[in-house]
Amino acid sequence: MNKSHIAFALVAWTLLLVACSDDAPVTRTRVVLITLDTLRYDRFAPGDRRPSAMPLTWAHAERGLVFDRFYTVSGVTQPAHATLFSGRAFWEHGITRNGVVLPEDLPNITERMQQAGFETHGVVASFPLTRRFGYDRGFDHFTEDFSHNLSRGKALWEGHWKIEEGAFFAMADAITEHANGAIDNATSGRQFFWFHYFDPHAPYGASSGGEVVRKRDILKAMPEGEAAVEAQLARARARYDADVATLDRALDRLLIRLQEDQDRYQTHIVLVADHGESLGEGHSVGHGARLHEAELRVPAFVLSPRVEPGRTNALASMLDLAPTILSLAGVETEGADPTSEPNDGRDLTRQGPTPTVAYAVRRTSREKGQSERRLDGSKVPFDGYQFAAIEPSGAIYIGSAEGFLAGETEVPEATHGQAWLDAFDRFENALRGFEQTGPLSPEVRRGLEALGYVE
């Protein structure tokens, strides 16, 4: 062996030793999806003369890309998550209310990740996202431990809080504890986590402790007049904000934990709320009964070494998250369904044309013949579907295949208006193929009733 061969061998051996040493950086991939139940956009992002109500989480978000015009597809948990995990619009998967099991043939990003060699962990905080409804599909490990529920022994749900062997929701501290445990126990070089938090959901104050305000407390004040209603709304907003602060602290602990591993894992984090909450806007309280900016515009950000930090006003929706998550994971996305309309989801980490409209649907778990009781004394029937068309400016037009709703929205210009009505008609026809009007089982009904989804 000549000197050049010896020198080459020494260099190669040195490189091999470095690569095998404990101190050598290892490129591994960790993709983390965090979904937040019932969080309003205006509590997350700071505005004019208004700081963020979640300063700890906001500080993390500023290291990533924040979407200031991100819209969900529904004011209800299951439809929003069905679109998120499938990359399909509501008229393609047909899930428009809670209490519906995910179809087995519906595409699922978790299964795609699992097939690509990712170790998958899920931790959920509430009844609608449990195994019962198929949300454990594709997960190697799935936690739905509600034993830390603050209502245990306190009967917050008027006799309906016990579902099966315990409570049916968990609070932020328990979710972060389970999440950090899942992170500690994961061993693969490719990891996918989904962590779901519930805290801003009613009853307001249940997460933060102390006084609890329920929707019925606000409705009971109506006979006493507007001042009494507003006083109850003020209490509800204060308790909601206290729960948001509790969530903020728990998220901070999780995000710090993930940040600690950035030298060992290339970490990509996607955070989004499934829907928002009405706190008096349009005389409504809660979510799912109507289509309104307070319920449809939600916080969302991506924190990844592949994404330039900043804020964007580009229109984005829940439909975009499946291709974005798969792209961050390096998993090839399926081709768009040629029958899908009017817009397919897009990878938010890449520049490209943005949609000119986003759509949302409203169909509640309440049974036919019932109405939403609003704080001004009016009642709005729940029969049928309502749809929303959302422009990049944030303007929201609400209607059905029959026309736009008087008093709910301004009627758009004739050209756009007719195009949207035509789209609404197609959506309604497509949704008839996924008829979900059958009665809920007693067990499922109790769970949804306790969460306020069935009255």
CATH number, residue 224: 3.40.720.10
Nearest Cα to 73, choosing from 373, 427, 347?
A: 427
Tally the domains of the chain: 1
Across 5-9, 66-70, 278-282, the highest mean pLDDT is recorded for 66-70
* 278 in a structural domain: yes
pLDDT number for residue 5: 53
209-217: Cβ within 8 A, 24+ apart:
209/150, 210/239, 210/242, 211/235, 211/239, 212/156, 212/239, 213/239, 215/285, 215/286, 215/452
Looking at residue 375, its amino acid is: L
Q: Is the pLDDT of residue 237 over 80?
A: yes
Domain carrying residue 444: 26-450
Residue 42 CA to residue 58 CA, distance in Å, equals 12
Confidence of residue 224 (pLDDT cuts 50, 70, 90): very high
Least confident stretch, 222-226, 368-372, 412-416: 368-372
The yes-or-no verdict on residue 20 having pLDDT over 80 is no
Q: Are 301 and 66 in contact (CB under 8 A)?
A: yes
User: Is 166 a domain residue?
Assistant: yes
Residue 191 within a domain: yes
17 domain-assigned = no
Percent of the chain residues past pLDDT 90, beyond the cut? 60
Residue 340: left (phi > 0), alpha (psi -120 to 50), or beta? beta
Q: What is the pLDDT of residues 38-76, one digit of tens each?
A: 999 999 999 888 899 999 999 999 999 999 999 999 999
Q: How far, in Å, CA of 409 to CA of 401, rounded? A: 15
Provide the whole-model pTM: 0.88
Dist CA 221 CA 376 (whole Å): 11
**Residue 18 placed within a domain:** no
Does residue 273 sit within a domain? yes
- Band of the pLDDT at 288, cuts 50, 70, 90? confident
Domain assignment present for residue 61? The answer is: yes
In a domain, 9, yes or no: no
pLDDT band, residue 247 (cuts 50/70/90): very high
Q: What is the pLDDT of residues 343-366, one digit of tens each?
A: 479 999 988 778 889 999 998 655
Q: How confident is the model at residue 402, as a pLDDT? A: 81
